[in-house]
Structure formats: C-alpha cells, structure tokens
Amino acid sequence: MVALVACGGSAGTPSSSPSSASANSPSAHAITKIEMARSLAKDGSAASPVVTFDAASDQKLIAVLTLANLDAGTKISYTRYIDNKYVNSKTAVLKKRSKYMHFTFKPKAGATFTPGSYRMKFYVNEKAAGEISYSVK
C-alpha cells in the first residue's frame, strides 16, 4: 500500500514511465533532498532518516522529499525497483506550494516488507529529479 502526501495533501494516480532529464534541466534541482525514514517530524521533514529497514519489525517506510519552492499543480512521481527489478510507479500533484512531500509505504495486512535492495527514482513534471537507495533486511 502506498500513500502519497504533500504537506497540505495530494491525490495520487498511477503513471507511465517518466522520461529522463539532463543535469541542466530546472527539474534537476526541484528536489533538494531525498531521505528515507520511519516517521515524520512535526514540520513534515524526515524524523531520524535511515537507509536500512527491518522486514520483521518496520510497518512503515517513508520517502521524504525536500522541495525547492514548487508551485501547486506540479507533478511529482517515482519509479521503485527491488534488486534492479521494477516494482511500481505513482504520481501525485501538489495541491499547494509545499516544502516537503512524502510517499508512505506499508505492507499488506498481516504481511511484511520484502527484503532486498531498493532504489527509487523521482521525477518532477516527468523530468528526472533525484534518486535514493535503501535496503530492507
């Protein structure tokens, strides 16, 4: 299960694979930081960022994006891979200007996260804007 949230809320829909962007693209700097965490701080930032999660005990993984003053209507999407195999992709649209946005992942009821090496690639308006790797042990 995935929840898509920007401070102030957003709606998510599946997306097709976004195209790549050059390093000179304005979208390359639209996301200034990407962190993984188990919970959020009161301001919407990552509380105690981590890159390793425990499949047996963690019930929530959160990808926290620090945004560079993006306007309402901006599309933010990701593609997620485990052990270099495609898992899924989602898109959310900012409802208002926000400093942080996050994607929350929870295992299905009664299940645990699949152990492995994960990579998430993020896109702003379908242009590459950053990536992060994390693992589930």
Is residue 53 within 8 Å of residue 136, measured between CB atoms?
yes
pLDDT of residue 27: 52
Both tokens assigned to 49? 């960022």
Is residue 128 within 8 Å of residue 18, measured between CB atoms?
yes
Residue with tokens 């208002």: 96
Query: Which of 3, 1, 2, 5 has the alpha carbon at shortest distance from 100?
Result: 5
Q: Check whether 26 has a pLDDT greater than 50.
A: no
pLDDT of residue 29: 83
Please tell me the distance from the alpha carbon of residue 100 to that of residue 48, in angstroms, as a whole number.
15
What pTM does this model have?
0.78
Band of residue 5 on the pLDDT scale cut at 50, 70, 90: very low
Please tell me the distance from the alpha carbon of residue 7 to that of residue 122, in angstroms, as a whole number.
17
Q: Check whether 51 has a pLDDT greater than 70.
A: yes
Domains of the chain and CATH, by start: 2-132 (2.60.40)
